[in-house]
Amino acid sequence: MRKFIQRALNKLEKLDRERIHQLIYDIAVENERLELVLNSMNDGVLVADENHRLVLHNKPVERLLPLNLTEPGEGFIWELIADPHIAVFVERTLLEQESIMDQEFALDAGGLTRILSCSVMPLVRNGTVQGNILRVEDISEKRNREARLRRAESLASLTTLAAGVAHEIKNPLGSIGIHIQLIQRALAAEGIGKNASVQGNLHIINEEIERLNKIVVDFLFAVRPMDVTLEYADLNRLLQELLDFVSVELDEAGISIETDLTGELPELLLDDKYLKHALLNIVKNAISAMPEGGRLKLDTRLRGDEVVLRVIDNGVGMSDQVLEKIFEPYFTTKDFGSGIGLTLVYKVLREHNAEISVVSQEGKGTTFTITFRVPQKEQHLLDWHEEADT
Q: Give the helix ranges, DSSP H, for 190-292.
A: 196-223, 235-252, 272-288
Q: Nearest-CA neighbor of 334 among 291, 298, 279, 278? A: 291
Q: Which of 140, 105, 107 is nearest to 120 (CA)?
A: 105
By CB neighbour count within 10 A (0-12 exposed, 13-18 middle, 19+ buried), where does 193 fall?
middle
Name the 3-class secondary structure at 271. Answer: coil
Put simply, whether the predicted model's pTM sits higher than 0.85 gets the answer no
Residue 169 — φ and ψ, nearest 5°? -70, -40
In this structure, are strands 355-361 and 365-373 parallel, antiparallel, or unpaired?
antiparallel
In this predicted structure, what is the pLDDT of residue 111?
61
* H helix intervals, the chain: 2-10, 17-40, 59-64, 84-95, 140-189, 196-223, 235-252, 272-288, 320-323, 341-351, 376-389
Walk along the chain (390 residues) and give the pLDDT tens digit of each residue. Answer: 556 566 666 666 666 777 777 777 777 777 788 778 888 888 999 999 999 998 888 888 888 888 887 666 567 899 888 889 999 999 999 998 888 899 999 887 666 678 899 999 998 888 888 899 999 999 888 888 887 777 567 656 656 766 677 777 777 877 888 888 888 788 777 776 567 777 788 888 888 888 787 777 777 766 666 788 899 999 999 999 999 999 999 999 999 999 999 988 999 999 999 999 899 989 998 998 999 999 999 999 998 889 999 999 999 998 888 887 777 766 666 655 555 668 788 888 888 989 888 888 888 999 999 999 998 766 555 555 555 554
Beta bridge partners of 138: 116
User: Can you give the pLDDT at residue 200?
Assistant: 80
- Picking from 249, 381, 242, 384, the residue whose alpha carbon sits closest to that of residue 311 is 242
